[in-house]
Each structure stands twice: as C-alpha cells, then as structure tokens.
Amino acid sequence: MTPTPCIYRIDASYRIVAVGGSWAEFALANGGDNLLPDDVLGRPLWEFVTDDNTRHLYRMLIDRVVHTRVAVSIPFRCDSPDKRRFMQMSIAPHATALCEFTSRMVRVETRPPQVLLADQERPRMGTIRICSWCKSVEVAASRWEEIEEAARQMEFFAAASLPFVTHTICPKCNERITGQLNEPLPPTAPEPDPRPID
C-alpha cells in the first residue's frame, strides 16, 4: 500500500505533461514497467483510457473542472488479482496545466487471487465485461457482480477456459458519475455586503 498519491497533469490537447507522487512506484508494483514517467510524458491521455464510454465521461469531468474551476472527486477501484484497492481520484484545476489528477489509496482488502485476472495459462475464449470504475463483472445481461461472486456463479475456478476481459462502465457507475456531473456547484464565499451609503 502506498500512502503517497499518484499524480499527473494534462495540457489543453489532453497530453500528459507531468507525473509525480507515487506514479513510478505504483507502475512498477503493478507490472507497468513500460509506464514509467519517461514512457508516458507527452502521450495523450486517451492512449491509457481506451474504452469509449469511460473516455466520454473523462472528457465531461475535465470540461466541468475547466469551466467551473472546481475540483471533482470520484471513488474507483484499482484491483490486482489478490487485492481490492479502494481509491479516490480528484480532478482539479491547475495554474499551468489544463487539470491535475490525483489518485489516493483509501483502503486495501486482501482476497484469494482471482483467476479471471491472474491466470496466464488457461486458454481464453469469448469475452466478459468488467467495469473500469468499480471492477464489477457483467455475469448476464444487465446483471453485474463483484468478481468473487461472478467467479462463483460462472465457475471460473474449474472452467477449462476463461473469457477475455474487456473494460467498460457499468450502469450503476455511469449513473453515479453522470449524477456528479450534474450536481450543483458548492456555494462560493458570499460577496461582502455593499458598504452602507452614508
């Protein structure tokens, strides 16, 4: 677990122009040794956010931050096969960049390694959708479950093959984040009372 947040900034053309905090440490700990600062600087954010729905939401969140100059904060999960990582991402206006993303670890829970994420040996057939934000798995049309429950229902442990994983956003997260986009802005400091006329 890393208490230092992972930070990056983008410019007006959505290119990553700065990374800091625990970025490098986090990349190395999660097999992202091709995602060190020198590898990502100058590259468009969209190379790392590949699913269309999530891109659309990122764009709307960034627009809101840029136009209102008020940060937004969104809970998300960044799991590994044997850990549930509960994170919080804030997108904030920045003086010299379009905006700054800060992801903080809120808490970590250990779990048995999930074969859907960990198994490199078994053949993969078909696809299954995972929510990029909450990491739930679509087990049937419009039915999303935590990966442990999905593994139980779909018998991943004993299956001869596993599905490929594709990322999307589940209806619950879509509603939650879209709702946040429409939230009224926090009240600003009241204007000082006009000076009384003598």
Interface residues with Zn ion (CB under 5 A) are 131, 133-134, 170, 173
> Minimal CA–CA distance to 78: which of 104, 53, 59, 52?
104
Which C-beta is closer to Zn ion: that of 15 or that of 135? 135
Least distance from Zn ion to the Cβ atom of residue 86, Å: 13
Shortest Å, Cβ 77 to Zn ion: 8
139 versus 173: smaller Cβ distance to Zn ion: 173
Pick 8 or 133: Cβ nearer Zn ion:
133
Choose between 74 and 108: whose C-beta lies nearer to Zn ion. 74
Q: Residue 55 CB, nearest distance to Zn ion (Å)?
A: 16
- Shortest approach of Zn ion to residue 168 CB, angstroms? 9
98-101, long-range: CB < 8 A, 24+ apart: 98/9, 98/10, 98/11, 98/12, 98/14, 98/62, 98/66, 99/9, 99/10, 99/62, 99/65, 99/66, 100/7, 100/8, 100/9, 101/7, 101/8, 101/9, 101/10
Helix (H, G, I), strand (E, B), or coil: what is residue 2? Answer: coil
DSSP state of 27: H
